[in-house]
Amino acid sequence: MNTLDIRNLSVRVAGNEILKNFSLTIPKGEVHAIMGPNGTGKSTLAKALAGHEDYEITGGDVLLDGTSILELEPDERSRSGLFMAFQYPSEIPGVSIANFIRAALQARLAEGEELEATKYYKRLYEKMDLLSIDRKFTARSVNEGFSGGEKKRCEILQLAMLEPKYAILDETDSGLDIDALKVVAHGVNTLRSQNMGVLLITHYQRLLNYIVPDRVHVMYDGRIVKSGPKELALELEANGYEWVRDHATATA
Ligand code: ADP
Ligand code: MG
């Protein structure tokens, strides 16, 4: 029951079936990586899990600790313990990071309950120290004019503060500079725990030099075609996605 269980999920986008009977189970306490070529449906998976309205579920189910989340609105999914970090995060001009995270935490409390400001800032600063983030950073508007590394810092700080049960991180396919890469790696490695399952979506093997996953899954044409231990990422780097495609065709 302590899993994020994606069962035979099929998802249609703009009239095309992109995910086809996609199945994957992420146990709490583990870090799983999904790798795959561009256009294979990795971001579609993340968006469908988040409950994005453009992504129509045509089959299957998603169970969070045994309970289906498919009928929940995006904000309800978030409050039930699912955290999403997207490839292209939105800018929120005029809203500081500190106030943004505070509002998200406040929304998780019961009606009439008030998040205590002193306690909130104490915890925020503790997490920032843990993640080596400069305190001045929280006064900046969310993602406004941020560098790649700063966007990742903002994302990882949200992750640390919200303490989700499952985190899905959709990493950029290109332009992830070394600073951004290290922020994500340091963040995930620091926050890894028995209480959280992580799904790391990535195009490049390079990120997995810094974050060692418990399991690697290769996605091709809307489904997982191969799963294995961390060494699978190296195999993939050596042989390329052609190798996976041939494998997928052979077993289809
Ligand atoms: P990946 O993240 O693996 O590169 P995506 O999930 O972004 O792949 O895309 C998979 C396929 O779904 C692509 O063919 C893409 O064009 C299509 N797709 C994804 N999102 C949309 C959308 N909002 N509208 C139309 N097509 C989409
Ligand atoms: Mg993508």
pLDDT at 99: 95
The verdict on the CB of residue 18 being under 6 Å from ligand 1 is yes
Say which range, 146-155, 201-210, 237-246, has the weakest mean pLDDT.
237-246
Q: For residue 36, is pLDDT > 60?
A: yes
- Tens-place pLDDT, residues 85-123: 877 778 899 999 999 999 999 999 988 999 999 999 999
How many Å lie between the centroid of ligand 2 and the Cα of residue 94? 28
Q: For residue 249, is pLDDT > 80?
A: no
Q: For residue 14, which atom of ligand 1 is closest to its CA? A: 25
| HSE-up (13 A, CA, CB side) for residue 5 | 12
Q: For residue 174, is pLDDT > 70?
A: no
Q: For residue 173, is pLDDT > 80?
A: no
Mean pLDDT of 1-8: 96
Token pair, residue 73, equals: 């609105």
Spatial distance between the Cα atoms of 91 and 82, rounded to a whole number of angstroms: 21
The verdict on the CB of residue 14 being under 6 Å from ligand 1 is yes
DSSP symbol at 116 = -
Number of the ligand closest to the Cα of 36: 1
231 burial via Cβ count (<10 Å: 0-12, 13-18, 19+): exposed
Per-chain mean pLDDT for the chain:
91
Question: Which domains are assigned to the chain?
Answer: 3-251 (3.40.50.300)
Q: Which residue has the tokens 């005029």?
A: 94
- Tens-place pLDDT, residues 141-160: 999 988 888 888 999 999 99
